[in-house]
Amino acid sequence: MDFELNDDERSLQEGIRSFLTGRCPIEVVRANEETGGALDRTLWRELADVGVFSLRTDGFGMTESVLAFEELGRSLVAGPLVASHLAASVVAGAGDGSRIVGLLEPAEPVTMVEHLASLDDLIVLRNDGIFVVEPSGVIGVLAERPLDALTPITRLDDVPDGQRIGDAAMALQWRRDGMVLTAGLQLGLCLASIDLAKTYAMQREQFGRPIGSFQAVKHMLADMLTKAEVTRAAVYAAAVNIDGRGDSSDLMQTARMAKLLAGDSALFCGKTCIQVHGGMGFTWEVDAQRYWKRACVLDTHFGNSDEHAAAFSAAL
């Protein structure tokens, strides 16, 4: 047993991080808000080139994929990353980034699809199977003000039917893998929130000293880190498990554990990051709100934490 990253895993993650730091610094991400969150196809191709979508069709596993998605989350990259990654094995062009593939799950009280205007293909993930739909034919109402400015969102009155490309078992597997990949993104959000809050706490002075020297602020940061590290263990365990190097045979249950922990932690870290920033955390300018908002978005993907808590208990 060795549950630390091995050298290959570490260098893969560092490679992705280094690409994103150069290509997608937060300024680039923010600039995309001015276009209403329309996806940048050049960037999408470059993401494909570093393997973000095709890792698993290229012979890597969920472990490597989650490490990559952690970095995507950390860099706040927007768009149907998980969907395009999942689709890489079945939808032509998804893996190489030539087509942007989105995904929707029928939901209550209403079904909403993200990034509809940027999509080339839309996957509908239902309990009874996986279906693909032509996005241009999908009719809905685009929200004037999405919660996350980088995630345009459209309300659908009806869930489109589409053409079946996978059965119920495959749908279940996609949900499971979707949970773990999304949890990777959420883990990255936690880490980015901590970095931002920490930097501010060290720089910002009030009462003649850095606010990070006050226990109240210190303890907020300690709680963020604690949640993030527990989440990291959960997410990595779920990924390793799917790759057959785990310690549990119930892959779905560990995937739920990961999504549950990651969802709660990303929301917690996001809002705590805002609180650490005080008034500045409430401004558009500071990224704290972006992390929190993205955490709100991702919590609704592949089941929120409460749903997974319920599902987890069903196996007890």
Partner 1 sequence: MDLQFTDAENSFRNELRHWLAGVIPTLPGEPHRDDWVGRRDYDTMWQRTLFEAGYAGINWPKEYGGLGATPTEHLIFLEETERARAPYVGQNFVGLLHAGPTLITEASPEQKAFHLPAILKGEHIWCQGFSEPGAGSDLASLSCRAIRDGDDYVISGQKIWTSFGHTADYCEMLVRTDPDVPKHRGISWLILPMGQPGMDVRPLRTMEGSTEFCEVFFDEVRVPVANRVGAENDGWRVAMVTLSFERGTAFVSEMLQSMELARDLAQLAKRITRNGASAWDDAGLRRDIGRICAELDALWALTKRNISQAQRTGLVGPGGNVFKLAYAELRSKLGELAMHLLDRASLSIDDVGQLPTHAHVHGRIHALSLGIAAGTSQVQRNIVAERILGLPKDR
Task: Report 178-237 residues binding partner 1 (CB under 8 A).
Answer: 194, 198, 201-202, 205-210, 212-219, 221-223, 225-227, 229-234, 236-237
Helix (H, G, I), strand (E, B) or coil at 305: helix
Q: Is 219 in the site for a second copy (CB under 8 A)?
A: yes
- In the chain, what is the straight-line distance between the N-terminal and C-terminal CA atoms, in Å? 26
For the four alpha carbons of 152, 157, 163 and 164, in that order, the dihedral sign comes to positive
* Alpha carbons 246 and 236: distance in angstroms, whole number: 10
**Least separation in angstroms between CB 215 and a second copy:** 4
Which of 137, 215, 279, 313 binds a second copy (CB under 8 A)? It is: 215
**Least separation in angstroms between CB 222 and a second copy:** 10
Q: Is 249 in the site for partner 1 (CB under 8 A)?
A: no
Which of positions 5-24 make contact with partner 1 (CB under 8 A)? 5-6, 9
For residue 85, give the nearest of 121, 48, 120, 118 by alpha carbon. Answer: 48
Judged by CB, which is closer to partner 1: 48, or 122? 122
Helix (H, G, I), strand (E, B) or coil at 81: helix
**Least separation in angstroms between CB 86 and partner 1:** 18
Residue 268: HSE in the Cβ half-sphere, 13 Å Cα cutoff: 18
Judged by CB, which is closer to partner 1: 54, or 241? 241
Answer whether 76's CB lies under 8 Å from 289's CB. Answer: no
Backbone φ, ψ for residue 185 (5° rounding) = -60, -45
- Interacting stretch for a second copy, rule CB under 8 A, among 189-197, 211-219, 226-234, 278-286? 211-219
Task: Count the site residues for partner 1 by CB under 8 A.
Answer: 100
* Alpha carbons 94 and 58: distance in angstroms, whole number: 13
Helix (H, G, I), strand (E, B) or coil at 58: coil
Which of partner 1, a second copy, none is residue 31 near (CB under 5 to 8 Å by kind)? none
Q: Is 145 in the site for partner 1 (CB under 8 A)?
A: yes
In degrees, to the nearest 5, what angle opens at C-alpha 76 toward C-alphas 205 and 295? Answer: 85
- Interacting stretch for partner 1, rule CB under 8 A, among 22-30, 40-48, 51-59, 284-292? 284-292
Judged by CB, which is closer to a second copy: 216, or 316? 216
Neighbours of 220 (CB within 10 A): 20
**Least separation in angstroms between CB 269 and a second copy:** 20
* Alpha carbons 190 and 70: distance in angstroms, whole number: 9
**Least separation in angstroms between CB 223 and a second copy:** 12
* Alpha carbons 131 and 83: distance in angstroms, whole number: 13
Judged by CB, which is closer to partner 1: 90, or 172? 172
Which of 214, 225, 246, 312 binds a second copy (CB under 8 A)? It is: 214
Backbone φ, ψ for residue 64 (5° rounding) = -65, -40
**Least separation in angstroms between CB 275 and a second copy:** 13
- Interacting stretch for a second copy, rule CB under 8 A, among 34-42, 149-157, 208-216, 300-308? 208-216
- List residues near a second copy by CB under 8 A: 214-216, 219
